[in-house]
Amino acid sequence: MSRYSSGNRAGAVVAIVADIMALILGLWIVMYLLDANRANELVQFVHDVANWLAGWSRDLFTFDKAWARVVAGYGLAAVVYLFVGHAIAGRMQRH
């Protein structure tokens, strides 16, 4: 029985981490779209973390509008982290 509960806990942790990663990426998209003050420390922190998380997808798209590149690049990373994180969590909870 303890084997299943540890899998459930581990799966829950993976899902929570994926949710936090997607939340940070989504928060940066909102901050960018609302033209948040980039001199603010919170905005800088969220931007730095989002840049790191979306390093692989940040410049993947070449839309003419900067806001479209931000939404597509960071949004793709958020969706992938959610999808993959929850898929892994689901498999961990089944085993």
Write down the pLDDT at residue 2. Answer: 45
pLDDT tens for 57-87 read: 998 999 999 999 999 999 999 999 999 999 9
Q: Which residues contact 75 (CB under 8 A, 6 or more apart)?
A: 25, 26, 29
Q: Which domain holds residue 38?
A: 2-94
Reported as type and span, the H/E element at residue 35 is: none
pLDDT tens for 21-57 read: 999 999 999 999 999 999 999 999 999 999 999 999 9
Structural domains counted in the chain: 1
Please give the Cα distance from 65 to 53 (Å, whole number): 22
Given a cut of 60, whether residue 1 has pLDDT beyond it is no
User: Residues 67, 33: contact at Cβ < 8 Å?
Assistant: yes
Write down the pLDDT at residue 6. Answer: 65
55, HSE (Cβ side, Cα atoms, 13 Å): 4
